[in-house]
Amino acid sequence: MKIFDAVVVGAGPGGMLLWERLTDAGLDVLLIEAGARSRDGAAPPPSDPGLWAYEMGDGHPLAWRRVHAVGGRTLGWGGFCHRFPQSVFEEGGWPYGARTLAPHYAEAERWLHMTRGGRLRPEFRDAARRLGWRFAPLRGARVHGRIWTALDARAAGAAMENRIAASLDVAGRRATGIRVLQPNGRSEWIAARAFALAAGPIETTRILLGSGFGETMPSIGRNLVDHMTTGYLLVEERPAPPSDGASNPAPFLQGALVSRFTGPGGADRRPYRGGFSIEITGPRRLSEMPAIAEALGIPPLEAMRSRVTFINAMGESARHEGRRVTLSKDRADDLGRPLPVLHMAADSRNALMLEDMNSACLAIAEAISGKTGGELHPLQETSPGAALFHESGTCAMGGEGRACDAWGRLGSVDNVWVADASVFPSGGDRHPTLTVLAHALRVARSMSGSLAQG
Ligand SMILES: Cc1cc2nc3c(=O)[nH]c(=O)nc-3n(C[C@H](O)[C@H](O)[C@H](O)COP(=O)(O)OP(=O)(O)OC[C@H]3O[C@@H](n4cnc5c(N)ncnc54)[C@H](O)[C@@H]3O)c2cc1C
């Protein structure tokens, strides 16, 4: 029987970067992915309830944005990437800070082909001065004039598709193999010296709970965190900048990141954790986005003369004991895996943050549009409990009683690592993927060191 050095579960960006670094170290590593390879680079959300059904703890509907395909959620992402500031690590109780992560951030930025931060547009510089807030140039993963996806990574060609990891077999302090199912029900058992789970916080937790780790580590599944968003579309009757248009190699990246607020407008520090940041994307010609112009009821001629700027706030929903992932006791999918149950409790601190996010977005819109005025159209709000798209937590790392150590290694066994946002002790105030990748690089170092020692 073949024994791999390692099996990596999940071919999203985290699993792929980990696979590349482990194979660079000369290891024999299998990368398995539950979904198929997308032919056109796009991937619809999973529609097969036989394989991807879940339950809600309170029975309420949830808009869960997920992708099961080689490339993971990068097949539908915006590619905006910024490092977490030191305050996120301190307030969230992370086992390390921004300095420890800096070299891994730099390596992940190169891997993602991230753009350099350019110069701020004059109207953003003016707005920053007027408000006394710091605006930084927006950065993102862009390649060949489009948004980078994990299909651009070398590992994309290596992923074994349609392989759904179900559970790990454990003997004492070692996992010996992983049970893998195909959508047609075929089952195989794959042996390896080490295992890494990069299937995203819900699926990674489902595999760990399905393997019985919940009994020895009751913290697994707890502290499910996510982001809330709210914002506005600012439509102004003035020309879009000349660099705009389909030929722009980095659409939307002429915007700015404004971080990080706790009670803008001089309000006392608010009771919510961390804070939030605001991404300003654009401005672009409205006529380049006909669907938006139509939705706003702006006729094509007027759209030619108008430009649009997105002002979007993002912050972590409040920590709550009731937010967690468990396994259903009586319902399973077509392959016999118990369904994950998502518990999405929320409290009044979220409303306060949404209030502050709104007023900060409005202040920025006013400062940008200045004398020209402009029309504001609210963007759809994603409130806690109603949506899930940046899920994190459930297997937090570092510290007493947490599931993983500071390298993402699971506490109760010696050869299982968690390489996705499950390990985040907090969700942070901005997009998560750059931090997921920096963590995956730490996992690669820990795993290869451990395998080298036998
Ligand atoms: C609409 C949207 C826009 C976003 N925009 C941004 C952005 O601009 N910037 C940013 O930083 N982040 C963004 N994100 C978040 C970003 O996509 C994720 O942070 C990132 O993809 C996480 O990478 P990952 O590899 O950990 O997980 P994923 O990308 O989710 O990949 C996990 C993979 O594991 C596979 N898998 C799951 N279960 C199993 C199993 N049992 N066996 C085998 N494989 C399995 C899945 O099919 C999937 O392919 C966005 C997310 C959404 C939904």
* Nearest CA residue ID for atom 4, ligand 1: 77
Best mutation site among 77, 380, 382 for ligand 1, i.e. most ligand atoms within 8 A of its Cβ? 77
As a whole number of angstroms, the distance between CA 229 and CA 311 comes to 10
Say which residue the tokens 């009821």 belong to.
297
Whole-number Cα distances in Å, 328 to 253, 261, 333? 43, 38, 10
Omega within 30 of 0 (cis) for the link into 323:
no
Axis crossing angle, helix 122-131 with helix 348-369, rounded to the nearest 10: 120
**Within 13 A of 58's CA, how many CA atoms are on the CB side?**
12
As a whole number of angstroms, the distance between CA 217 and CA 409 comes to 13
User: What's residue 230's pLDDT?
Assistant: 95
Å from CA of 424 to ligand 1 middle: 14
Å from CA of 69 to ligand 1 middle: 10
As a whole number of angstroms, the distance between CA 277 and CA 80 comes to 13
**Within 13 A of 368's CA, how many CA atoms are on the CB side?**
31
Three-state DSSP at 18 gives helix
User: What's residue 152's pLDDT?
Assistant: 96
Atom of ligand 1 nearest to the CA of 66: 53
What mean pLDDT comes out for the span 39-63? 88
> Average model confidence (pLDDT) for the chain?
91
- Of the candidates 311, 405, 426, which has an alpha carbon nearest to the alpha carbon of residue 358? 311
- Using pLDDT thresholds of 50, 70 and 90, give the confidence band for residue 246: very low
Say which residue the tokens 């590349």 belong to.
20
Instruction: Write down all domains in the chain, each with its CATH number in brackets.
Output: 3-452 (3.50.50.60)
Q: Could you say which DSSP state residue 150 is in?
A: G
Å from CA of 398 to ligand 1 middle: 23
Say which residue the tokens 């750059």 belong to.
434
Å from CA of 71 to ligand 1 middle: 8
Question: Containing H/E element for 413?
Answer: none
| 318-327, 344-353, 379-388, 444-453, range with greatest mean pLDDT | 444-453
Task: Note whether 147 and 77 are within 8 A (CB).
Answer: yes
User: What's residue 46's pLDDT?
Assistant: 85
Best mutation site among 105, 225, 433 for ligand 1, i.e. most ligand atoms within 8 A of its Cβ? 433
As a whole number of angstroms, the distance between CA 390 and CA 429 comes to 11
- Using pLDDT thresholds of 50, 70 and 90, give the confidence band for residue 268: low
User: What's residue 247's pLDDT?
Assistant: 43
What mean pLDDT comes out for the span 420-435? 96
- Using pLDDT thresholds of 50, 70 and 90, give the confidence band for residue 269: low
What residues does ligand 1 touch, defined as CB less than 6 Å away? 9-15, 32-35, 65, 68-69, 72-74, 76-81, 164-165, 198-200, 203, 207, 389-390, 420-421, 431-433, 436
Q: Which of 50-59, 111-120, 191-200, 422-431 has the lowest mean pLDDT?
A: 111-120
Å from CA of 127 to ligand 1 middle: 34
Task: Note whether 280 and 124 are within 8 A (CB).
Answer: yes
% the chain with pLDDT above 70: 95
Task: Note whether 255 and 79 are within 8 A (CB).
Answer: no
- Using pLDDT thresholds of 50, 70 and 90, give the confidence band for residue 254: confident
pLDDT tens digits, 131-183: 999 999 999 998 887 899 999 999 999 999 999 999 999 999 999 999 999 99
- How many distinct helices (H) and strands (E) make up the chain? 11, 21
pLDDT tens digits, 65-93: 999 999 999 999 999 999 999 999 998 99
Å from CA of 382 to ligand 1 middle: 18
Task: Note whether 311 and 327 are within 8 A (CB).
Answer: no
User: What's residue 250's pLDDT?
Assistant: 47
As a whole number of angstroms, the distance between CA 100 and CA 107 comes to 13
Whole-number Cα distances in Å, 109 to 97, 140, 369, 418, 438? 18, 9, 32, 21, 9
Say which residue the tokens 């960006």 belong to.
13
Query: How far is Cα of residue 259 from the mean position of the Cα atoms in its chain?
Result: 18
Task: Note whether 12 and 31 are within 8 A (CB).
Answer: no
Q: What pTM was estimated for this model as a whole?
A: 0.96
% the chain with pLDDT above 90: 73
User: Within 10 A of 253 (CB to CB), how many other CB atoms are there?
Assistant: 22
Å from CA of 68 to ligand 1 middle: 8
As a whole number of angstroms, the distance between CA 259 and CA 256 comes to 10
User: What's residue 413's pLDDT?
Assistant: 96
Sign of CA pseudo-dihedral 323, 325, 329, 333:
positive
Task: Note whether 274 and 428 are within 8 A (CB).
Answer: yes
Whole-number Cα distances in Å, 257 to 122, 138, 281? 15, 5, 9
Burial class (CB in 10 A: 0-12, 13-18, 19+), 247: exposed
As a whole number of angstroms, the distance between CA 345 and CA 208 comes to 22
Atom of ligand 1 nearest to the CA of 434: 11
